[in-house]
Structure 1
Amino acid sequence: MATLAAALIAFAAPASAARIDDQFQAWLAKDLWPEAKAKGISKATFDAAFQGVSPNLKLPDLVLPGEKPKTPKKQHQAEFGSPGNYFSEKTLGAVTSGGRARAGANAKTLAAIEKRFGVPGGVVLAIWGRESGFGAAKMPYDAFEVLGTKAFLATRKEMFRKELLAGLEMVERGLVSRKAMRSSWAGALGQPQFLPTSFLKHAVDFDGDGRADIWNSTPDTLASIANYLVHYGWAKGRDWGFEVSLPESVTCALEGPDQGKKISDWAAMGITRVGGKPFPQNEARAEGFLMMPAGRNGPAFIVTPNFYVLKEYNESDVYALFIGHGADRIASGDRRFVGNWGKVDGLYRSDVATMQRGLEKLGYDVGGADGLPGFKTRRSIGDWQAKNGRAATCFPDKGLLEAMR
């Protein structure tokens, strides 16, 4: 009985690194290998992939044996900052100046990519610059260590298991050498930062050497990025969006990809492009969407479906806006946002989550109480503010927090 009790205590307690490694090796042999074999992975490829590999317990979002998933305190206590922080001139300037420098050097390739895929060169360059510093970023991790650790211990095991098996397929098919499988901490590969499933779906041989090389080939890297966007619905001939001036008479609660109107209809409501230019004729007849990442606390935009294609690369409004704005600056020079990003009212992400839960109790769909105010949260705030006699800002503030406590 004492032996059984000791065993139960050992199982329930957080595992030591050595014991986790033993469990990892058993998982590889008894769980992962049978599935890999069924998918056509050879034992030689499998063994080479995991030779000398142990779980990296320093990676984020892991759940160790004997522990329960938990929200990191750091995330809960993180200050809620202005979306404008994402657009520091140091980062944005490096992408735009670097993009312009490479636009000339790769003009022929970019023209061929735009002709084949319909994606403007500026967009492709902005993604390349943002993802890997135009290929300069180091990939410090062994991809099989990262993907193996996460498939075994992460909060999203099934997703990483799928990526791990795709990585094995890449090596098995000779698409990349085992040695070249270096990645970010999240398991992303090469200059476009593709996960293995994205490589298998979207990587393109554009330099004609017979293999898609997103590690060393600039043409293959750029074309693969464009192919990725096309797969998710990039509309040839359309812009990503326009910065606009929003009259006080138009509520910010109209934001969102499910509240589209013809751009000419937005214009009829008094919304105008900053700088005074009219919307292009082809855009005026097509659908657009109001997008205000900081509510009335920052610039406003009318975006096209291509904006939401950019979000497929990284599920974030500010990421897509960074890429679209960076692409404009690469193509047309340093035209910065006209609207100013306001300051945030001394809040934490936990405060934003409190507001979201309060709005949910009132029947609003805020897209989840995660402490990140996406468009559903922003427009819910605006609607609640208007109904309660407040100026509709569509952005969290201390007054709203007090009202929702």
Structure 2
Amino acid sequence: MALPRAMVSRRIFFGGVGSLAASAALAQGGFDAFLEGVRAEARRAGISAGTLQRALANLRPNQRVIELDRKQPEGFLTWEEYRDRIMLSPTRIQNGQRNYAENRSLLGAIEARYRVSPRVVVAIWGVETNFGGNTGGFGVIEALATLAWEGRRAEYFRKELLAALRVLEGGHIAVARMTGSWAGAMGQCQFMPTNFERMAVDFDGDGRRDIWDSRADALASIAHYFQKSGWREGEPWGRAVLPPPGFALDGADTESARSLRDWARLGFRSEDGSPLPGSELEARLVLPNRTNGQVFLGHHNLRVIRRYNPPVNYGLAVGLLSDRFG
């Protein structure tokens, strides 16, 4: 039975048909045909022949990218392990405090324009790329082309590939410097190309939106993302709390919003045992573990943090890390 081209390509790529040499040749043939379609679509979208030549010439599918895309997460970290070993390690906290202090003037200028807390900007910077030290070593065009061709999420990655070509066409970065994660997340703030188009800014005024090598552009782009996502200036993200005695976490309502004053009336207190503020600021119950451990009240800005990356534990860790700065 004849298989769809995407399925044929996938089997050949992993050496399931014929000799390795023949498989590689057939796989490259399918990839080249895929690239021709990308070229045609890009030309119709106004991308120049020169950009396409620089970006797509001699491109090959990257097997490591496909392996990483298919790899299932191994093991499971509890909230406490994720918080203490990964996100809030002493080294990350110390580096964050140092970077916050060293960039205080720049962060102040960014805050003045976007009205977003510089502490959460630095926390995102630290979590995503270790304060710009680890932005990823994959060629973005190669990675996105591989994933768009391979087929599992072809439509999504083809859209991102075309956006990446538009970024190159705009002269914001050279092909060789356009590096990122295996999934195509780019620069110090790890924007996907479509997010770059919507959210990246030229804060240093050099005519390019350079989230790779311009710290000003990268940090301002994070702030712009938060501004557009609805960050509320001056409001906290949330707080750890102590529930009242006998409160059952399993099955607890995490959707209903109540004022801090109402949470206090229900018997909730700050984690250190002090009373909650008598405020009308609304919060929802947030539970990183459903059976035991820390309990949080999350405000609107926690949901904004999670628009950058949706997992609850990510949002909580970024919030807690931001509290250590400034």
TM-score (norm 2): 0.88
The 1-side partners of 2:281 and 2:261 are apart by 8
Identity of aligned residues (%): 37
Instruction: Using the TM superposition, give the Cα deviation of residue 308 of structure 1 relative to its aligned residue in structure 2, in angstroms.
Output: 1.4
The 2-side partners of 1:149 and 1:119 are apart by 36
Identify the match of residue 57 of structure 2 among 30, 51, 55. Answer: 51
Aligned position for 1:187:
184
The residue identity in structure 2 corresponding to 1:128 is: W
Q: Structure 1 unaligned segments of length 5 or more: list them.
A: 64-70, 332-405
Q: Does the aligned pair in 2 maintain the 1:290–1:302 contact within 8 Å? A: yes
Identify the match of residue 39 of structure 1 among 23, 38, 45. Answer: 45
Q: Does the aligned pair in 2 maintain the 1:110–1:121 contact within 8 Å? A: yes
Aligned position for 1:84:
80
Q: Does the aligned pair in 2 maintain the 1:62–1:150 contact within 8 Å? A: no
Aligned position for 2:316:
321
Query: Higher Cα Rg: structure 1 or 2?
Result: 1
* Greater shift in the superposed pair: 269-278 or 129-138: 269-278
1:210 aligns to 2:213 (yes or no): no
Identify the match of residue 296 of structure 2 among 294, 301, 306. Answer: 301
Identify the match of residue 115 of structure 1 among 112, 117, 139. Answer: 112
3-state SS in 2 of match to 1:59:
helix
Change (3 A) 1:245 1:296: farther
1:24 aligns to 2:19 (yes or no): no
Identify the match of residue 140 of structure 1 among 137, 141, 144. Answer: 137
The 1-side partners of 2:8 and 2:321 are apart by 51
What are the superposed Cα offsets for residues 67-120 of structure 1, whole Å, 9 maximum, x if unpaired? xxxx86x55xx4343122212346522222111111221111112222222221
Identify the match of residue 271 of structure 1 among 251, 268, 271. Answer: 268
Structure 1 runs of 4+ with >6 Å offset: none
The residue identity in structure 1 corresponding to 2:42 is: A
The residue identity in structure 1 corresponding to 2:252 is: L
Instruction: Using the TM superposition, give the Cα deviation of residue 59 of structure 1 relative to its aligned residue in structure 2, in angstroms.
Output: 1.7
Aligned position for 1:376:
none
TM-score (norm 1): 0.72
Aligned position for 1:290:
285
Instruction: Using the TM superposition, give the Cα deviation of residue 61 of structure 1 relative to its aligned residue in structure 2, in angstroms.
Output: 6.3
The 2-side partners of 1:162 and 1:134 are apart by 28
Aligned position for 1:222:
219
The 1-side partners of 2:77 and 2:68 are apart by 26
The 1-side partners of 2:247 and 2:129 are apart by 39
1:130 aligns to 2:127 (yes or no): yes
Q: Does the aligned pair in 2 maintain the 1:62–1:155 contact within 8 Å? A: no
The residue identity in structure 2 corresponding to 1:211 is: R
Alignment of 1:154-169 (within 5 A): 154-169=151-166
The residue identity in structure 1 corresponding to 2:173 is: V
Query: Across the two proteins, how many residue pairs are aligned to each other?
Result: 313
Q: Does the aligned pair in 2 maintain the 1:260–1:289 contact within 8 Å? A: yes
The 2-side partners of 1:164 and 1:11 are apart by 22
Change (3 A) 1:138 1:246: same
The 2-side partners of 1:41 and 1:259 are apart by 48
Q: Does the aligned pair in 2 maintain the 1:96–1:327 contact within 8 Å? A: no
Instruction: Using the TM superposition, give the Cα deviation of residue 270 of structure 1 relative to its aligned residue in structure 2, in angstroms.
Output: 0.6
Q: Does the aligned pair in 1 maintain the 2:147–2:153 contact within 8 Å? A: yes
Instruction: Using the TM superposition, give the Cα deviation of residue 314 of structure 1 relative to its aligned residue in structure 2, in angstroms.
Output: 1.4
Q: Does the aligned pair in 1 maintain the 2:202–2:210 contact within 8 Å? A: yes
The 2-side partners of 1:175 and 1:13 are apart by 33
Q: Does the aligned pair in 2 maintain the 1:202–1:227 contact within 8 Å? A: yes
Change (3 A) 1:98 1:44: same
- The two structures, once aligned, show a CA RMSD in angstroms of 2.6
Q: Does the aligned pair in 2 maintain the 1:240–1:306 contact within 8 Å? A: yes
Change (3 A) 1:278 1:209: farther
